[in-house]
Each structure stands twice: as structure tokens, then as C-alpha cells.
Amino acid sequence: MSSLPFRSTFRLLPLLLALGAGASAQAQSLADLYAAARGYDAAYQSAKAQYDATLFKADQARALVLPKVGLTSGYSGTNYEAKSIPVAAVDRSYTTQTIGISASHPLYHPADDASYQQSLRSNDQATAALKAAEQDLIVRLSQAYFDVLASSDSLAFVKAQKAAVQEQLASAKRNFEVGTATITDSREAQARFDLVTAQEIAADNDLRVKNLALAQLVGQRAAQPKRLAEPVALEKFAAADVDSWVSRSQTEHPAIQQLQVALDVAQLETRKARAGNLPTLDLVAGYQAATNNGSATTGLNFGSNASTIAVNFNLPLFAGFAIQNRVKETVSLEEKARADLESAMRTVAQGTRAAFYGMESGLGQVKAYEAAEISSQSALDANKLGYQVGVRINIDVLNAQSQVYDTKARLSKARYDVLMGSLRLRQASGTLAEADLQPVNALLAK
């Protein structure tokens, strides 16, 4: 039995992979699809709208420390009728028009100052929340992107394995017909062919599902991710010292930044509660003009202008212990915020370490699978030769074929897992940004 048909299947494997991934003219890079996802993904759009709303809400708090100006105007008409005996009755109608402007400016309002500072910190909290949403979108999109590639590779490997098994089945049938093999070889090859056909159906369906998941993120039904260029070089994705990643995570992770802001806001809330016992001082000014077209005593027209300026002082003396209890409440909430921050820092540090070691493990697995690919191919070649000279049976060749394609599929998946692990490590440490997609893009086929 010749090994040429099987070798021809391996020569067709790159073509099968290319067909499974789609034409290169239609293929899109990870950065291209991320740009599309930013404009389409509903979860990200929701986070962006919440970010804008928070900024506008924070601007509202500025009104507490800015002057307030108001305009008032009035018009009234009176019909006056007086009767006396024996003097003649008086019947007179007159009108009054007034217009005024008033202004006030807070000179000393410690509670309002604390509220304004809280609004400024809310901007930082909104920025951290949007950063977290962006990182989540990058990871979700990248996972969907590599899921499609891994599923496409699996389908291509299954198709190649099916072609190889089909060749082995045909060879077994020919050998049986000429009497150099038993019917067992044909039946074993047929059973393996039926099994790989079922695997092909499952792999094809899995690819359809993965494509749907990617389309849901980017809003493009015909999205075609670019494959990795050969050879794949993952050495530059090796992570640095784990402690440096953990150290960065403690200051750059969005969850920690949000909880740090929450602690600052809680401290300002305590400051605002204590301000309930403090006085307030306001500068007020006003001007009012009035025009009268007569009055109850005279028919002559007259007017008046009045301007005022004052400083209002207010000091709360007793509020039924409400202020004291409010201070106790805010101090307790401040302690809660501090505990929440500490818990988040520990969780983020643990997650960063786990992601770091997962990344290292993934790189080790890739190297192991690369070695396994070479050794399994050598084992297959040896089994093919042994089958030709009669020291191996057909099932040995079929098992070796399965091991080769299974190893190739595992190696492909392990490479994608390393790239995802690199992004997840950056997300775990809070440093993930759009620029981190560029090193991944550099590995894609041009």
C-alpha cells in the first residue's frame, strides 16, 4: 500500500484551512472588527450612554456653588368704589405694575462644597466604568474572533482526516479484494469513516454557531476573521514578572479605581453630614421697580424704586439629634467602602496571578503540542510503513491518523488560548486597551 494518497491529503490541508476561514479578500483583522463592535454592541453603547449621563449629572452639582439670579414681574388692576353720606360717591380704577430682579451667592456652605467635590469624583468613577466596559468588549470580541478561527480549524482538520480515512478505506477494500488483507480492515476503516463524518457534521454546526456569536457583536453577518500567519511566533507574548503585574493592577484596575472613588465620596458624605452643625452665609441683592396708575386715595400716577443688599447668616441650633445620627451613619458607610476597596484589591491581585500563571501554562502547552505534532506525525509514518510490510494492522494506522489530527486541533486551540490569555492578563490587571490588539494583529495573515 502506498503512502502517496495520505501525503496528498496533507498537501491539501492548507487549502482546506483557507477555505474554512474564507477568502483573504473578505477577511478582517481583530482591530477592524473591534471598531465595528464599538459602534454596534448594545452593552458597550449602554455603558457609553451611562458615562455621558454621569458627566451631565456631575455638572448639575456646580449650581450649588454658583450665584442664582431670578426675575419677577407682576400686574394688578383694582376697581375702587367708596360711598359716604352726604358726600358724593367715589368710583376709581387703577393699576399697579411691578418688576424686580434678585440674586444670591453662597459665601460659606460647607455641605454644598462637599456635594460639589463628590460630583467631581463621580466623573472619575464614570471614566473607570467606561474603561471597564471597553476592556470587556475587547475580551468578548477577541474570544468570539478566536472561537470562529478555532472552530474553522477544527472543521478543516476533520475534513482532512475524513479524506485520509476515506483513502485508507479504499486501500483496505482493494487489499481485501486481492487477498492481502482481511475484511476486518475494511470494517474498521468504515467505522472510523462513519465516526469522522459525524464529527464533521458537529464541527460544521459549531462553526455556524460561533459565526452567529461574532456577528451579534459586530453587526456583520459575513464577518470573516483573518487566520494566523505561518509560522506562528508567540514568544513575544511571554509575560513579565508576576509581581509587577499585580502592582499595576492595584492602581490601574477599573474596579479598584471605582471603589477608591466610592471611598472618597463616602468620606465627603461624612464631611457633608458634619457640616449640618455649621453655619451658612449668603450674599443676597435685589432691585424692584413699581408703577402705580392711581390709588385708593388719589388719581395721580406715581412710582417707586427699591434696591437691597444683605448678608444672611444661618446657624442650626438643634435638629432633634438628626445631624449626630447622620454623622454616625456616614462614618459606618465610610468603613464599609474601605472594606469593599480592600476586598476588591485582594480579588484583583488573585485574579491577576491566576491569569499570569494561566498565560505561562498556555505557552508551555503550545511548545508541548508542537513537539507532539512532530512525534505523532512520525508515529503515523512509522505505522503506515509497518502496515505496508505487514507488522501493523489497519486500526493502528487509523488511530495514528486520529492522533495526528487531534494534536493539530489541540495545538491550534492552544495558540488561540495564549493570545486570549495575553488579553485576559491585561484585563485582570486593568491595563487592557485598544492598542493591545496591535501585537495580535501583527500575527494575522496579510
> In this predicted model, what pLDDT tens digit does every residue of 93-109 receive, in sequence order?
878 899 999 999 999 99
pLDDT over threshold 90, residue 407: yes
Instruction: Give the model's confidence band at 59: pLDDT under 50 very low, under 70 low, under 90 confident, else very high.
Output: confident
For 43, list phi and psi in degrees, rounded to 5. Answer: -65, -40
Nearest in space to 219 (alpha carbons), one of 83, 44, 74, 389: 44
pLDDT given for residue 11 in this prediction: 47
pLDDT of amino acid 231? 87
Residue of 87 and 337 predicted with greater confidence: 337
C-beta separation of 242 from 356 below 8 A: yes
pLDDT at 85: 55
204's CB contacts (< 8 A; 6+ apart) are 155
Lowest mean pLDDT among 171-175, 252-256, 339-343, 350-354: 171-175
Question: Rounded to 5 degrees, what are φ and ψ at 76?
Answer: -140, 145
Q: Which long-range contacts (CB under 8 A, 24 or more apart) does 329-335 make?
A: 329/273, 330/266, 330/269, 330/270, 330/272, 330/273, 331/270, 333/266, 333/269, 334/263, 334/266, 334/267, 334/269, 334/270
Work out the average pLDDT over 266-271.
Answer: 94
Check residue 4 and give its pLDDT: 41
Residue 260 has pLDDT above 60, yes or no: yes
Average pLDDT rounded to a whole number, residues 339-356: 96
* Nearest alpha carbon to residue 430 among 258, 261, 234: 258
Poorest-confidence range of 54-58, 176-180, 225-229, 371-375? 176-180
Q: Which segment of 77-86, 179-188, 404-413 scores lowest on mean pLDDT?
A: 77-86
Percent of the chain with pLDDT over 70: 91
Radius of gyration of the chain (CA): 39
Q: Is 90 helix (H, G, I), strand (E, B) or coil?
A: strand
**Predicted pLDDT at 96:** 87
* pLDDT for 287: 93
Whether pLDDT at 326 is above 50: yes
Q: Would you state the pLDDT for residue 57?
A: 86
Going edge to edge, which strands form the sheet with 90-108? 68-82, 90-108, 280-293, 301-314
Q: Name all domains of the chain by residue range, CATH numbers in brackets.
A: 4-67+109-279+320-441 (1.20.1600.10)
Q: Which of 70-79, 201-210, 233-242 has the lowest mean pLDDT?
A: 233-242
The predicted structure's pLDDT at residue 94: 79
Mean pLDDT to the nearest integer, 318-336:
92
- pLDDT score, position 83: 67
Position 293 scores a pLDDT of 82
State the amino acid at position 195 in one-letter form: L
pLDDT grade for 2, boundaries at 50, 70 and 90: very low
Question: What pLDDT score does 296 carry?
Answer: 67
Q: What is the mean pLDDT of the chain?
A: 87
The answer for residues whose C-beta is within 8 angstroms of residue 269's C-beta and 6 or more apart is 114, 118, 330, 333, 334
Mean pLDDT of 410-426: 94
**Assigned C-alpha cell, 441:** 494583529
Instruction: Give yes or no for residue 8 having a pLDDT over 50.
Output: no
Distance CA 301, CA 95 (A): 10
The pLDDT of residue 210 is above 80? yes
* 225: pLDDT strictly greater than 90: yes
